Each structure stands twice: as structure tokens, then as C-alpha cells.
């Protein structure tokens, strides 16, 4: 993870220095352990390594390193997780079944076809109720610690990496190969987007990039 993060930092320094500067220092072991204990299941090592290197963003930059998705601090990830946990606890089984009716897993059995799951741990956010996160409760064909999309608009779920390390390696490889677009935003800020496929929101690119899973 350290090597991959160093590559990402180098790329950001060259192309989006304000976003590189927005990455926060790593979190403490105590903070990681407290969140892990609250969830009640151990976090995969690659997720912990990610947060040991950078505790998300300070929140000054207008974009995030995950093709525009913001890198949640551990405290912000915990707050988002608690919001989803509250929904799960407040809804009746019938309400959750109804909300999950149209949810799918691109690879059948890899991801539980639920609207929400208390063991999905967000680390990226679009400020619209949607995430990339780590799956601590995969389906029978899934992998513990796989990275998935989920959220209020994400009925169709995909594995975007078998681990955080795998996802980060994929992301950095894409950026280094030139698959990115930097757009000027109001106020002089710049946003990071994917170039191919040409969409304005990375989560809209996920079904195109990872749709082949449905054929497995």
C-alpha cells in the first residue's frame, strides 16, 4: 500500500497539487481500533494501511482522489457508517426487503443484494449518499474485504477491487496511463474525473468499467 500511495502522491503533485496538499496525515492506531470495535468485525489490513498513511482529506480541495469521490476521514467514515446503521436499525424487515427489491450483484452471489448492510464500511463519498466501501459481509462468491459501490442511488453493485490494495493499484494505474480529465470548476478549483468512459460521475462509470462481472 505504501508504494501505491507514493505513486498516487507523486501523480497528484504533478497534476493536482492542491489535492495532494489536502490529504491529511495518518490516523492513530487507537482511532482505528475504536472504529473497528464499534463495527464488531476486524478491518482488512489494506484498509488500515490506507488510513495509517492518510486519514482522508482536510476538506479544503473541491475534489477527491478517487476520480472525484472524496476520501473520507476516519471520523467522517464513522459518521456515515452510523447513519446507515441507524437506517438498518429503524427500518422493519419488510421495509428493508422492499428497499432491496431491485438491488443486484453484478457477479451473482458476490455481494449481498441489500439496500444497506451494517458491515459495509465507506471510505469514499460523493456527497449525494453514495460510496465506495469495504465489504465485511460478502456473499458466498465474494471476498472478505472486497471494495464495492453502495448508497442511496446504487442498486446495482459491483466489485471494483478484491481488496483496498487491489483497487488502489487499479486507480493509480489508470491515472498514470492517462485515463483522467481535470475540469475547471467555479471559483478556480479543479475537479478530477475519469476520461474513458466519458461521464461526470465516477459511480456512473462503474457499470461500464466492471460490467463484465455479470458474464462470470
Residues 143 and 123: beta-carbon distance below 8 Å: no
Q: Where does 2-215 sit in CATH, by number?
A: 3.40.1580.10
Residues 69 and 132: beta-carbon distance below 8 Å: yes
pLDDT along the chain (216 residues), means of 10: 96 96 98 97 98 96 95 98 97 96 96 98 97 98 98 97 98 98 83 94 96 59
Amino acid at each position: 500500500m505504501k508504494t501505491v500511495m507514493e505513486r498516487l502522491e507523486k501523480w497528484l503533485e504533478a497534476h493536482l497539487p492542491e489535492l495532494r496538499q489536502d490529504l491529511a496525515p495518518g490516523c492513530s492506531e487507537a482511532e482505528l481500533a475504536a472504529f473497528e470495535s464499534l463495527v464488531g468485525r476486524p478491518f482488512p489490513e489494506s484498509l488500515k494501511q490506507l488510513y495509517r498513511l492518510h486519514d482522508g482529506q482536510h476538506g479544503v480541495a473541491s475534489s477527491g482522489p478517487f476520480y472525484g469521490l472524496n476520501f473520507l476521514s476516519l471520523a467522517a467514515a464513522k459518521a456515515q457508517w452510523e447513519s446507515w446503521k441507524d437506517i438498518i436499525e429503524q427500518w422493519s424487515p419488510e421495509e428493508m426487503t422492499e428497499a432491496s427489491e431491485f438491488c443486484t450483484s453484478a457477479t451473482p452471489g458476490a455481494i449481498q443484494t441489500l439496500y444497506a448492510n451494517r458491515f459495509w464500511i465507506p471510505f469514499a463519498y460523493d456527497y449525494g449518499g453514495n460510496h465506495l466501501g469495504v465489504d465485511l459481509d460478502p456473499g458466498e462468491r465474494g471476498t472478505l474485504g472486497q471494495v464495492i459501490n453502495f448508497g442511496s442511488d446504487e442498486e446495482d453493485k459491483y466489485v471494483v477491487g478484491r481488496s483496498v490494495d487491489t483497487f488502489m493499484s487499479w486507480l493509480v494505474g489508470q491515472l498514470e496511463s492517462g485515463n483522467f480529465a481535470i475540469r475547471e470548476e467555479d471559483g478556480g478549483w479543479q475537479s478530477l474525473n475519469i476520461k474513458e468512459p466519458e461521464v461526470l460521475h465516477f459511480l456512473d462509470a462503474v457499470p461500464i468499467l466492471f460490467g463484465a462481472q455479470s458474464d462470470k
